[in-house]
Amino acid sequence: MDATELEKKAILNRYKALYRSCKHFSKEELKFVRKAFNFANNAHKDIRRKSGEPYIFHPIAVAQIVATEIGLDATSVACALLHDVIEDTVAEEEDIRRDFGETVLKIILGLTKISGVFEYESEQAENFRRMLLTMSDDIRVILIKFADRLHNMRTLEHMQPDKRLKIASETLYLYAPLAGRLGLYNIKTEMEDLSFKFTEPEEYSKILSQMRATRFEREKFIQEFIAPLKLELMKTGLNFEIKGRTKSIYSIYRKMQAQNIPFEQVFDLFAIRIIIDIPEPYMREVLNDKQLEEVISAQRQREKDACFKIYNVITSLYHSNPNRLRDWINTPKANGYEALHTTVMSKTGRWVEVQIRTRRMDDIAERGLAAHWKYKEKSQANTFDKIVSDIRNMVAFQQNHNAEDFVNDFKLNFFTDEIYTFTPKGKMLILPKNATVLDFAYEIHGNIGNRCIGAKVNNKLVGRDYPLSNGDQVEILTSDKQQPEEEWINLVKTAKASSMIKDAIKSQKKQIAEKGYDMLVQKLKSLNIEPTHKNLSRMQLYFKINDLAAWNYAIGSGKFPLHLLDEYAKTPDLKKKKIVDSSDNKSISEVVKRLNKDMQTISSTTKNLRFEYAFCCNPIPGDAIVGFYFPEKGIEVHQIKCANAIKLMSHHGNRIVNVKWNEQKEVAFLAGIKINGADRIGIVKDITNVISAEEQINMRSVNIDSNGGIFEGTLMLYIQDTQQLEHLIEKLEKIEGVLSVIRFDTYSMAQ
Among residues 7, 53, 73, 87, the one annotated as catalytic is: 87
Closest CA to 147 of 247, 75, 76: 76
> CB of 179 within 8 A of CB of 229?
no
CA angle 310, 314, 316 (to 5 degrees): 115
The DSSP letter of residue 620 is: -
Closest CA to 560 of 512, 597, 592: 512
- Contacts of residue 437, defined as CB under 8 A and 6 or more positions apart, other chains included, come to 452, 454, 455, 457, 462, 463, 464, 465, 466, 468, 474, 476
Q: CA 82 to CA 69: how far, in whole Å? A: 18
Beta bridge partners of residue 354, listed in sequence order:
272, 342
- Phi/psi for 161 (5° steps) reads -55, -45
The DSSP letter of residue 516 is: H
Q: Label each residue of 440-478 as H, E or C.
A: HHHHHCHHHHHCEEEEEECCEEECCCCECCCCCEEEEEE
The DSSP letter of residue 582 is: T
DSSP per-residue letters across 682-708: THHHHHHHHHHTSTT-EEEEEEEEEET
Counting DSSP H helices and E strands in the chain, the numbers are 30, 21
CA angle 315, 320, 322 (to 5 degrees): 120
> CB of 270 within 8 A of CB of 246?
yes
Q: CA 678 to CA 480: how far, in whole Å? A: 59
> CB of 107 within 8 A of CB of 79?
yes
**Alpha carbon 596 to chain centroid distance?**
27
Beta bridge partners of residue 244, listed in sequence order:
272
Beta bridge partners of residue 351, listed in sequence order:
345
> CB of 427 within 8 A of CB of 485?
no
Residue 59: its H or E element: helix 57-64
Based on its alpha-carbon atoms, the radius of gyration of the chain, rounded to whole angstroms, reads 30
203 tagged catalytic:
no
88 tagged catalytic:
yes
Among residues 29, 53, 73, 88, the one annotated as catalytic is: 88
- Contacts of residue 446, defined as CB under 8 A and 6 or more positions apart, other chains included, come to 500, 504
**Alpha carbon 557 to chain centroid distance?**
39
Q: CA 193 to CA 176: how far, in whole Å? A: 10
Q: Which residues are catalytic?
A: 87-88
